[in-house]
Amino acid sequence: MRVPYKWLQEYLNVDTSLEELCHLLTMGGLEVEEVEQWTAEDGGDSDEILMTVVTPNRGDLLSMVGIARHAAALLGSTFNPSQVSYPEIEQPVVDSERAELGPVTVEIEDKVGCPRYSALLMEGVAVKPSPDWLRYRLEAAGIRAINNVVDCTNYVCWELGQPMHAFDFKLLKDGHIIVRKAEVGEQLLMLDDTWQVFSPEDLVIADPMGAVALAGVMGGADTQIRDLTTTVLLESAHFDPTTIRRTSLHLGMSTEASYRFERHVDPNLTLPALARAAELIMQTAGGEIAQAALDAKARDFEAKTLSLRPERCNALLGTQIESKMIAEYLGRLGLRVQEGARLTVTVPTFRPDIEREVDLIEEVAIVHGYDKVPLTIPSHLTGSGRLTREQKLHRRVGALLRTGGLNENISFSMMHPRDLDRLNWPQDASEREPLLLANPSSQEQTAMRTTLLPGLLEACSRNARHRVADVALYEMGIVHFPTAEPGLPTEQQQVAGIMMGSPLTTQWNLPPEQAEVDFYYLKGLVEQVCQELGLTKFHFARADHSAFQADRCARLIFGEQPIGVLGEIAQRVQQAYDLPKPVYAFELNLDAIVEQATEHRQYQPVPRYPVVRRDVAVVAPDTDEFSAVRLSAEIRSAGGENLVSVEPFDWYTDTQRIGEGRRSVAFSLTFRHADRTLTDEEIEEAMEQIHGRLEQIGGQVRTE
Partner 1 sequence: MEDKLKALAEEARQAIQQAADEQQLEQARIKYLGRRGQLHQITQSIGQLPDQQRPVVGQLANKVSQQLDQLFAQRQEELQTQVAEAERVVQALDVTLPGRAPRVGKRHPLLATLDEMIEIFLGLGFTVVEGPEIENYYYSFEALNYPEYHPAMDEQMTFYINDDVLLRSQTSPVQIRVMENQSPPVRIVAPGRCFRRDTVDATHCHTFYQLEGLLVDESVTFADLKGTLEVFAREMFGPQCHMRFRPDFFPFTEPSAEIALTCIICGGEGCRVCGDTGWLEVGGSGMVDPNVLEMVGYDTEKYTGWAFGVGVERFAMLRYGIDDIRLFYSGDMRFLAQF
Residues 388-407 touching partner 1, rule: CB under 8 A, are 388, 391, 398, 401-407
- Does the footprint of partner 1 cover residue 17 (CB under 8 A)? no
254 or 305: whose CB is closer to partner 1? 254
Residue from 112, 468, 550, 674 in contact with partner 1 (CB under 8 A): 468
Q: Which residues of 429-453 are buried (b: 16+ CB within 10 A; e: fewer)?
A: eebeebbeeeeeeeeebbbbbbbbb
Print the SS3 string covering 44-97.
Answer: CCEEEEEEEECCCCCHHHCCHHHHHHHHHHHHCCCECHHHCCCCCCCCCEEECC
Site for partner 1 in 476-505 (CB under 8 A): 478, 480, 488-489, 491, 503-505
- Name which of 264, 289, 244, 71 is nearest 162 in CA terms: 264
- Are 260 and 240 spatial neighbours (Cβ–Cβ below 8 Å)? no
Tell me if 387 contacts partner 1 by CB under 8 A. yes
**Site track 210-249 with partner 1 (rule: CB under 8 A), x = hit:** -------------------------------xx--xx--x
Q: Is position 317 an interface residue for partner 1 (rule: CB under 8 A)?
A: yes
Please select the residue that binds partner 1; options are 151, 202, 235, 262, rule is CB under 8 A: 262
Q: Pick from 450, 463, 494, 664: which binds partner 1 (CB under 8 A)?
A: 463
Q: Which is nearer to partner 1, 79 or 261 (CB)?
A: 261
CB of 378 to partner 1, least distance (A): 4
CB of 56 to partner 1, least distance (A): 4
Q: Does 31 bind partner 1 (CB under 8 A)?
A: yes
Stretch that binds partner 1, among 273-281, 294-302, 359-367, 532-540 (CB under 8 A): 359-367
696: helix, strand or coil: helix
| Least CB distance to partner 1 at residue 373 (A) | 5
Residue range at the interface with partner 1 (CB under 8 A); choices 49-57, 191-199, 555-563, 636-644: 49-57
Residues 53-72 that bind partner 1 (CB under 8 A): 55-58
Single residue of 20, 112, 307, 412 touching partner 1 by CB under 8 A:
412
Strand order in the sheet with 643-652: 643-652, 662-671, 612-621, 700-702
**161 binds partner 1 per the rule CB under 8 A:** no
Q: Long-range CB contacts (< 8 A, 24+ apart) of 289-292?
A: 289/87, 289/89, 289/120, 289/121, 289/122, 290/102, 290/121, 290/122, 290/123, 290/231, 291/90, 291/101, 291/102, 291/104, 291/121, 292/89, 292/90, 292/91, 292/92, 292/93, 292/101
Residues 6+ apart with CB under 8 A from 185: 197, 198
Among 291, 349, 413, 492, binds partner 1 (CB under 8 A): 413
Binding positions for partner 1, 596-635, rule CB under 8 A: none
Alpha-carbon gap, residue 395 to 599, rounded angstroms = 13
For the segment 504-533, give every residue that binds partner 1 (CB under 8 A): 504-506, 508, 510
CA atoms within 13 A on the CB side of 224: 19
Question: How near is the Cβ of 355 to partner 1 at its closest, in Å?
Answer: 10
What interhelical angle do 357-368 and 310-317 show, nearest 10? 60
Site map 432..451 versus partner 1, x via CB under 8 A: ---xxxxxxx---x--x---
Bridge pairing between strands 612-621 and 662-671: antiparallel
Nearer to partner 1, 405 or 562 (CB): 405
Q: Give how many residues touch partner 1 by CB under 8 A.
A: 96
Q: Using CB under 8 A, which of 43, 185, 252, 374 touches partner 1?
A: 374
Bridge partners, 204 (sequence order): 180, 214
Taking the complex as a whole, the smallest distance from the CB of residue 469 to partner 1 amounts, in Å, to 10
Residue 347 C-beta-side C-alpha neighbours within 13 Å: 18
Interacting residue with partner 1 among 410, 541, 629, 674 (CB under 8 A): 410
